[in-house]
Amino acid sequence: MPRLTISLLGPLQVTLDDKPITGFATDKARALLAYLAVEAARPHRRDALAGLLWPDQPQRKARQNLRQALSYLRQAIVEMDDVPFLLVSRETIQFNPSGDYWLDTAAFAALAGECREHRHRRLESCLPCMRRMEQMVELYRGDFLEQFFLSDSDLFEEWAVLKREWLRREAVMALSHLTDRYERRGEYERARQYAQRQVALDPWREEAHRQLMRLLALDGQRSAALAQYEICRRALAEELGLEPTDETTALYEQIQTTDPETRFLRKNPVSLPPSPTPFVGREEELANLAELLANPDCRMVTILGPGGIGKTRLALEAAEQQSGAFAHGVHFVPLAAVNSTESIAPAIAESLQISLPSDQPPQEQLFNYLREKEMLLVTDNLEHLPAGNTLWAEMLHQSPNLVLLTTSRERLNLREEWVYEIEGLQYPHDDAVENGEPCSAVAMFQQQAHRADRHFAPDEAELAHIARICRLVEGMPLGIELSATWVTTHSCEQIATELEHSLDILTSRMHNVPERQRSIRATFEHSWQLLSKAERDILARLSVFQGGFRAEAATQVADASPATLAALLDKSLIRRVSPERYDMHPLLRQYAAEKLQDDPQKYRETEMEHIRYFATFLAQREEHLKGAKQKQTLAEIAPEIENARQAWQTAVARGDTHEVEQTLESLYRFYDVRCRFQEGIDLFAQAIDRWSGDEEQAYLLGKIMARQGVLYRRLGRYQRAADAAEKGLEIFERLEIQGEQAFCMVNLADTLRHQGRYREAEKLAQKSLALARQTRDRWSSARSLWLLGLTHYRTGDVDAAEKSLTESLSISRESGNPRLVMPALNTLADIACHRGNYDAAISMFDECLVLSHNLGDKFNAAIHLNNLGTVLQVLEKYKEAGLFFRESLEICHEIGDQIGEAIALSNLGQVVHEMGLYPEAMAYYREGLAIGRRIQDQWTIMACLNNLGETACAMEDYEAASDYLTEAMQIAAETQTMTTLAEILVNVAILFTAQGKTGRAATLLALASNHPACEQAIQDKARRVMDEMGLVPPEQLPASLGAVAAEVLAELA
């Protein structure tokens, strides 16, 4: 600690050897000290100092006064060291920069300079700089030389004013940044304290008032927030004669009229698992990691160290400190349960709560999602996925604002990687434990031991043995944690003695013992030896689980009784992650797996039990996934999906066809409803490759292909979907299995419908319905009736459509399956809208949306949002419609639903068209059209072309309008999509009117305004156009839309 401390921020205070100095005799002596200390960088001429402090005195008198003040100063700060505080000569005086002193303003300025010079992505997100600012505002006890004034020295006062203003400005800026940081972290009380200090320092700083107003509002203190505006207004008016800026007034009005807790909430999400125990030690490591994460050149930090060294816990603590620093949050991605490179992207998506399946690989979709995100991803346990290393490099390349904080036992050897190697916690190098705060390793042992035995209170002798234990495990947190659990049955001396004999493993030269495992293996081996034979057997068997397990599963697969699980839990060999769920430390699971594999027969038996358990688990839930318990069942499967995947993959590899068939239906439905389409496709592909060409497994192969085809269709990959359905259908027709024939037919029909082949789709749906009724298959019956209704509707037979759909809905409601209810209900809502029954349509769409949200079914939710938007658009509620379309678009983009994405874009185009924003509308339509052409979805292509034609007419680009409408009409005529054809004819009529073909236009408009295939909104539009143009309908109308379309196409050609 410095001998001399000088505090000039706030009232002047000086201490020497920790004792206050009060014997300066005069204020001029204090002023001399303050000036010399602040300006210590150079020597000062005596004449200059005399003129500074006694400007009105003759030079001789002023120099005499200076000598006297210097004498007082030297008496006050007694100099006893070889290095004096003052460097004095005949002509100059200087405060010694090398002296043993501390000056608060120098420390403040140094911190401010470090913030300015520090390399970081940006100041607001730099944790080291925020910590410097916290030190700055802590130093700032008040204004520079507060309550200190020399009335007879204007020069000194001018100097003091300049310093005071600079220091105050720096303090205010630091307070502003800190207010913002803690607001983004959600620590509103602390943020408010900083904001209040800002206002106190600078009452006319409107930004500070706004921060304080917002924070008060967020804290529910609306009245106080509004009152703060009045304080601001009065301060500005009384001192500056100004009114608050528009920004301040706007904030005041928003607080008056809106819910501040939602209006002003800043979303910097943090999805980190909760910490079971307080974090111990690692202060230096955390500071170093904060510097690395702030460095703009550092995009990937790998925390490197052996298993059990505490990499994950350190990463989580470092990540938590970054809360509020990244615009799109801080997210934890556990990869321990991921067993293939292909599963990395889905695992990241799961942690981010997004869906990635698309017609492109999940990795590419993930990159698209992350490209514009400013985010910190904590990716945990990378060492078992070396093939995925290039993924991290590419991810960083494509996402310029992404930062990765990873943990690994091995270097990733990437150019982007900044390796931060850690060792164990700090531990005593002898048995002596210092009084006071123990070192980190000892503190952690005591913490864990107290959790195991709340009466644990070690005496001095036991502390020495704890120090010995910490040395034996070299401060490894996992070793300490496991060792501490034994205090319930062993003394600390016994624990240390039993651990000591196995230290030879740390120097093992065995080739099959990785270097990284040697220290922790000693701890694991010791723990293993403490278990009974039955406990060892069970622990080894538990290693077969991926991603954790429930007690019931442990009993079935590993023969683990509740008592044994409790014993293993007490020994920290397994962990309870929820009231009904356990998992095992990944290193310990690896160690236990090796023990299991030492006995090949036991390994095969356990593997088979794991397969059987999860095959049965999924088979038992198959019917529930088709009925009223669908939501609950999906929630039950979700935490076990890694185990289910593992069971499937192992069963496929072993050729266990019975278990594969047991798991198939539930896996398919889970992947379908949860929109994990690509993951399901890839999983099923393994089985298809395994049994392709095996006639004995034709039935199973056909089922897998058929379900894979559905997932392909969800992604708009129609040819693949059709091929899979056709292959499955060929197999089941050969095997004469009617139920599966119906399944394949209805899904093939749905694919053909997307391709605009409505008549073929209708015939297949009729065949599927007949088979489904024969086999009493409610699912296929309802789906077939829905498809029949949809094809009837699209081809213009609205009454027939309603009949089929009503029957489909009835069957679906009886089944209790909400996902079966939604398609029929959604299309009936379309028909209600078609007929102008908008209230009924909204009610049905709302019900669909609730059902989809309850299931977590984003695919259908996006459809219903789109459809609700279309009704609102017809009702001219364009703003609300646009919100629905944008939400639908975001969901479709997230889950890879290209059809939905194109439809949402087209709908957004219609909204901005109605608002007169024609160029923006064209851009939306063209983007939707590009997607439609890419996936060859005929209805989407046709709808976008029709909209392009309409807007081109509005822009008076009639040549382009003619081209667009001609192509749209050709598709509508070829596919016999009469509802859309009628709508196209209305736009053609508008084109004809502009071209002077009013008679032809009148015929088309009159036909559309009375045709049952034309929905009510379009009929109203046709009548409106006729009235506006003063057109007279012909006496006789054509009977056929198709015939009229053919004539119009000839005219346009």
| CATH (domain of 346) | 3.40.50.300
Q: How far apart are the first and last CA of the chain?
A: 94
Residue 541 covered by a domain: yes
pLDDT score at 79: 64
Confirm if 210 and 229 have CB atoms less than 8 A apart: no
Q: Where are the beta strands (DSSP E) in 49-113?
A: 86-88, 92-95, 101-103
pLDDT digits (tens, 9 = 90+) for 547-564: 899 999 999 999 999 999
Residues 726 and 621 in one domain: yes
- Cα separation, 938 vs 944, in Å, equals 10
Could you please report the per-residue DSSP string of 330-348?
A: EEEEE-TT--SGGGHHHHH
Higher pLDDT, 501 or 640: 640
Tell me the CATH number at 969: 1.25.40
CA distance 964 to 922: 12
Q: How far is CA 874 from CA 46, 867, 871, 1016, in A?
A: 87, 11, 5, 10
Q: In what order do the strands lie in the sheet with 4-7?
A: 19-20, 13-16, 4-7, 101-103
Q: Above 90 in pLDDT, residue 253?
A: no
* 805, pLDDT greater than 80: yes
| pLDDT for 526 | 63
Judge if 248 and 299 occupy the same domain. no
Residue 994 contacts residue 957 (beta carbons within 8 Å)? no
| pLDDT value of position 186 | 82
> Using 50, 70 and 90 to split pLDDT, how confident is the model at 517?
very low
Residue count of the chain: 1053
486 and 614 together in one domain: no
The pLDDT of 166-175, averaged and rounded, is 92
The pLDDT assigned to 1042 comes to 78
Please check the confidence at residue 259 and state whether its pLDDT lies above 50: yes
Residue 619 lies in a domain: yes
Let me know if residue 119 belongs to a domain.
no
Whether residue 416 sits in one domain with residue 274 = yes
Q: How far apart are CA 167 and CA 741, in angstroms?
A: 81
Decide which of 598, 614, 642 is a domain's last residue. 598
854-913: pLDDT as tens digits: 988 999 999 999 999 999 999 999 999 999 999 999 999 998 899 999 999 999 999 999
Work out the burial of residue 159: count CB atoms within 10 Å of its CB; fewer than 13 is exposed, 13-18 middle, 19 or more buried: middle
pLDDT at residue 478 greater than cutoff 60: yes
Residue 711 and residue 610 in one domain: yes
Q: How many CB atoms lie within 10 A of CB 563?
A: 8
415 plus 487 within the same structural domain: no
Are residues 473 and 575 located together in one domain of the fold? Answer: no
Q: Is residue 181 part of a domain?
A: no
Q: CA–CA separation, 641 vs 181, rounded Å? A: 38
Looking at residue 265, its pLDDT comes to: 53
Please tell me whether residues 293 and 401 are part of one structural domain. Answer: yes
Question: What number of CA atoms fall less than 13 Å from residue 802's CA on the CB side?
Answer: 11
Are 52 and 89 part of one and the same domain? yes
- CATH number, domain of 652, equals 1.25.40.10
CB within 8 Å of 239: residues ≥ 6 apart: 203, 204
Determine how β-strand 330-334 pairs with β-strand 101-103: unpaired
**Predicted pLDDT at 108:** 94
Give tens-digit pLDDT for 596-655.
999 999 999 999 999 999 999 999 999 998 888 888 999 999 999 999 999 999 999 999
Residue 503: exposure state from Cβ atoms within 10 A (0-12, 13-18, ≥19): middle
Which of 52, 84, 102 is where one domain is finished? 102
Per DSSP bridges, beta strands 86-88 and 92-95 are antiparallel
- Tell me the pTM: 0.62
DSSP alpha helix (H) spans, 755-817: 758-775, 778-794, 798-815
Q: Which amino acid is it at 483? A: S
User: Do 375 and 366 touch, CB atoms closer than 8 A?
Assistant: no
* Neighbouring C-beta atoms of residue 20, cutoff 10 Å: 10
- Is residue 777 assigned to a domain? no
| Helices and strands in the chain: count of H runs, count of E runs | 48, 16
**Per-residue pLDDT tens over the stretch 731-741:** 999 999 999 99
Name, of 355-364, 421-430, 697-706, the range with top average pLDDT.
697-706
Residues 301 and 383 in one domain: yes
pLDDT at residue 487 tops 60: yes
C-alpha span between 720 and 810 (Å, rounded): 32
Mean pLDDT (the chain, rounded): 87
* The pLDDT of residue 551: 93
Q: In this structure, is residue 1042 part of a structural domain?
A: yes
Task: Name the band, by pLDDT with cuts 50, 70 and 90, for residue 499.
Answer: confident
Q: Report yes or no: 341 and 362 within 8 Å, Cβ to Cβ.
A: no
Q: Percent of the chain beyond pLDDT 70?
A: 95
What CA–CA distance (Å, rounded) separates 266 from 185? 9
Q: What is the pLDDT of residue 505?
A: 29
- pLDDT, average across residues 817-822: 91
Same domain, 624 and 549: no
Domain boundary among 265, 295, 313: 265
For 529-574, where are the E strands, in sequence order? 549-550
Q: Which two tokens stand for residue 543?
A: 């290693």
Quote the tokens at residue 120.
């970081």
Bridge partners (DSSP) listed for residue 776: none
14: domain range?
A: 4-102
Find the mean pLDDT for residues 43-54: 89
CATH number for 62: 1.10.10.10
Residue 435 maps to a domain: no
Q: What does the alpha-carbon distance between residue 748 and residue 1032 come to, in Å, rounded to a whole number?
A: 46
Do 942 and 1004 lie in one domain? The reply is yes
pLDDT score, position 572? 66
The pairing of strands 330-334 and 270-271 is: parallel
Structural domain contains residue 668: yes
Number of domains, the chain: 7
Return d(Cα 887, Cα 891) in angstroms, integer. 6
At 77, is the secondary structure helix, strand, or coil?
coil
Residue 503 has pLDDT above 60, yes or no: no
Compute the distance between CA of residue 641 and CA of residue 638 in angstroms, rounded to an integer: 5
Q: What is the pLDDT of residue 763?
A: 94
Within 8 A by CB and 6+ apart from 59, the residues are 47, 50, 51
Angle, CA 994 vertex, CA 992 and CA 1000 arms, to 5°: 25
